[in-house]
Amino acid sequence: MTGGNSGHPKLRVKGATKVYQTRSGDLLAIDRCSLDIQEREIVSIVGPSGSGKTTLLWCMSGLHHLTAGEVLLDGKPVNGPTRQIGMVFQEANLLPWRDLDANINFPFEIMGTKPDRVWVDELLNRVGLEGFGGKFPRELSGGMQQRAALVRALSYKPSVLLMDEPFGALDAFTREEMNRLVEEIWLDRPTTIVLITHSIEEAIFLSDRIVVMSPRPGRVASIHKVDFQRPRSIEIMATKEVFDLTNTIKMEIIKMQQRQPAKPATDAIQPAAE
């Protein structure tokens, strides 16, 4: 097992299977996925489109229910959304009729609690959004919107942050900036992060481990450990190690796409020897 610095994994996915009922019959989206994520670990999930990455993440968050298997948070099953888990969506997903302050206040209105003003202000400060509280989403750039979404997700201090292709819609430079920001915030106040991404570079820059998923039905095909020192600078991204790892993962995904349907992966949590 990887990184077992404490006895319990923070988040444990056991034999997660999800079948969607569609018009054309049942669709097996993910098939017996198992994965242990340790406390304060950043894990990325990559894989070809349609490999059930988003399905897996939504099941982890409790927004979707598994057909079989279970998700355990601190050893307790996740049966629905919990405030221990914060979700960052594909788009910034801000409410357009609320200004920035009201958007950040939204989780607290739903939960019926009061925000920790000091913490929220610190977050806003850190992402460079102080003084923008009265602005509406349409007045903010894509990067600013996504930063606001990050603040909103962190505002109520969840112990797990699930990010569903959070920076996919941003341009390359804004994306790198966001990656550095996530690492910076994480170094300051480590949480457990699970990140879905299409960018292997992003996965390498941020993660402790990278999970590669197979094409539909999604299974855990392999897990790669990423052992670079933190804080990671943008320079390490130009090293041979990163280049090799990127290519290994890329080739793995391409090969899987070529020989569809994928052969059943062993139902296991074995990390690839790396």
Partner 1 sequence: MSETDAIPEFKAGHAAGGDVGLNNMSALTSGPGIKSFGEVLAILVVAVIIIGGTELLLNIFEVPQYVLPKPSEIALALVTEFPLIAPHLGYTLVELLAGFAIGATVGLVLAAVITQFPFVEKIVTPYILLLVTTPMLALVPLLILRFGFGYEPRIIAVALASGPMVMINAATGFRRVDAGKIALARSYGASTFQIFWKVRAPMALPMIFVGLMVGSIFGLLTAVGAEMVGGGFGLGNRLTSYSSMIQMPQFFAVVLILSILGILIYVLFFLLGKKFASWEA
One residue of 4, 75, 109, 184 binding partner 1 per CB under 8 A: 109
Considering the rule CB under 8 A, would residue 97 count as an interface residue with partner 1? yes
One residue of 106, 115, 121, 246 binding partner 1 per CB under 8 A: 106
Of residues 156 through 195, those in contact with partner 1 by CB under 8 A are 156
Of residues 115 through 144, those in contact with partner 1 by CB under 8 A are 136-138
Q: In sequence order, what E strands does 89-186 have? A: 160-164
Cα–Cα dist 154/158, whole Å: 6
The site that binds partner 1 (CB under 8 A) totals a number of residues, namely: 26
Considering the rule CB under 8 A, would residue 85 count as an interface residue with partner 1? yes
Considering the rule CB under 8 A, would residue 91 count as an interface residue with partner 1? yes
Cα–Cα dist 251/217, whole Å: 19
In order of 17, 52, 175, 205, 235, the CA distances from 246 in angstroms are 28, 21, 18, 11, 15
Q: Across the chain, which distance is largest between two alpha carbons, in Å?
A: 53
Stretch that binds partner 1, among 18-26, 41-49, 107-115, 218-226 (CB under 8 A): 107-115
CB of 54 to partner 1, least distance (A): 11
In order of 50, 138, 162, the CA distances from 32 in angstroms are 16, 41, 20
Phi, psi of 76 (to 5 degrees): -105, 140
Binding site for partner 1 (CB under 8 A): 58, 61, 63, 80-83, 85-87, 89-91, 93, 95-97, 106-107, 109-111, 136-138, 156
